[in-house]
Amino acid sequence: MPKKNVSVGPSGTGRWDVNVGGVKRSSHEKQSTAIDKAKGIAKDLGTDLTIRGRDGKIRSKDSYGNDPNPPKDTEH
């Protein structure tokens, strides 16, 4: 069974949505709150987390799974 990726992005109503496998899991007033919630879910599922900015463009990506080729970024 494929793992469901987690994402955070603007909802269009001024809120920030946390989606798991394309399905909205929760909605938050602050982006930072949504990111904290999404990180916990991604760690529990052992999957990827994608964070989008207000413009909808990808701002950050993290992998919490068993990635055979982990990125060599210095972001975290």
Q: Which tens digits make up the pLDDT trace of 3-47?
A: 789 999 999 899 999 999 999 999 999 999 999 999 999 999 999
What is the helix, strand, coil percentage profile of the chain, to 5? 20, 35, 45
Calculate the CA 52 to chain-centre distance.
8
Residue 65: pLDDT band (50, 70, 90) is: confident
Q: Which of 51, 62, 47, 53 is nearest to 3 (CA)?
A: 47
Residue 45 tokens read as: 């599922």
